[in-house]
Amino acid sequence: MNSYIVLGEISNVIHSMRLNSKWDTRAKLTSSPLIKNLEQLKQKIESLNDRNLFRLDTMEYLNPFLEVIKSNETSGPITAVALNAVHKFVTRQFLGPYCSNPAKGIRHVVTVVAHCRFEATDQSSDEVVLIKILNLLLACLLSPAGHLLTNKLVYDMIQTCFKMSIQTRLSVLLRRSAEMTLQEMVHCIFSRFYAQQDQEPEVVVPGTPVIQESEREVKRSESVQFRPLIAVSPTMTPLHTPMIPRRESEGGMDAGGS
């Protein structure tokens, strides 16, 4: 069943690319490396006897879509279709513990999406893509593979949402969506952090006094009060350059900020 979902998303991305003047002829389609990667993935899946997608490495069925997302040549509508595809893979647990290499897969998804670039069209269409970026980043964090993300990647996700929420050039709707996504991310991070604290085994040393539950809660809160939730490297600045994509005349749209 999962293999048919991927095959359907391959068709959706290729169809959206055919609607663009850059790939509106067969010659242009066959010469495009993005199309070639998608076609090769299609052939590889169809060659599986049982169509079991998880016989493939996670990166094999993610990379063709991620290449479309990070390409400077793709327009906003094409990028949106590819983002939809990856969002479906994440929410349907294609990166679950039963698949091959889930850690590398989820980390690569966040790396690419947080620094997504695409050609600008009009503001409303571009903001649709930015909302899809927010949704996909949140889905990655909430997914079963979310705990495999590194501190640096979680920091990048938080930073992406924060920078989007303070850009006055964006619509109020998009900025509020970024704020809500940021709140959900922070809630998820702290929930997992304290859940991990609760699961830590308690070591009892003979001869030590028994601590009441209320005292234990106070000591626990004091012990974690100054622990950094996300380790920030000394080379990381509080904010990079504004992440909101530039217009096409300035080099396209950039969701990563550089």
Neighbours of 51 (CB within 10 A): 15
| Residue 23 belongs to a domain | yes
Contact status, residue 145 vs residue 96, Cβ threshold 8 Å: yes
| Residue 220 belongs to a domain | no
Alpha carbons 185 and 181: distance in angstroms, whole number: 6
The domain total for the chain is 1
Of 142, 52, 91, 37, nearest in space to 83 by CA = 91
- Report which residue type is found at 129: V
Alpha carbons 148 and 115: distance in angstroms, whole number: 19
Neighbours of 46 (CB within 10 A): 10
Q: Which structural domain range is residue 94 located in?
A: 2-197
Phi, psi of 202 (to 5 degrees): -90, 125
Q: Name beta bridge partners: 254.
A: 117
| Residue 214 belongs to a domain | no
Tell me, what's the pLDDT at 246? 44
| Residue 109 belongs to a domain | yes
Tell me, what's the pLDDT at 13? 95
Q: Residue 142 has which token pair?
A: 């909430």
| Residue 202 belongs to a domain | no
| Radius of gyration over every alpha carbon of the chain, rounded to an integer in angstroms | 22
- Alpha helices of the chain — where are they, by DSSP H? 2-18, 26-31, 33-46, 58-70, 76-91, 102-114, 123-142, 151-165, 172-199, 213-224
Contact status, residue 255 vs residue 110, Cβ threshold 8 Å: no
Tell me, what's the pLDDT at 24? 75
Q: Which secondary structure element, helix H or strand E, spans residue 253, and what is its range?
A: strand 253-254
| Residue 239 belongs to a domain | no
Longest dimension (CA), the chain: 81
| Residue 229 belongs to a domain | no
Contact status, residue 17 vs residue 69, Cβ threshold 8 Å: no
| Half-sphere exposure for 81 (CA within 13 Å, toward CB) | 20
Tell me, what's the pLDDT at 182? 96
What does the pLDDT look like over 154-189, one tens digit per residue?
Answer: 999 999 999 999 999 999 999 999 999 999 999 999
Contact status, residue 242 vs residue 163, Cβ threshold 8 Å: yes
Alpha carbons 207 and 27: distance in angstroms, whole number: 81
Tell me, what's the pLDDT at 210? 45
Tell me, what's the pLDDT at 177? 96
| Residue 248 belongs to a domain | no
pTM (two decimals): 0.76
Tell me, what's the pLDDT at 165? 94
* Low pLDDT (below 50) residues in the chain: 204, 208, 210-211, 213-214, 216-250, 258
DSSP class of 226: T
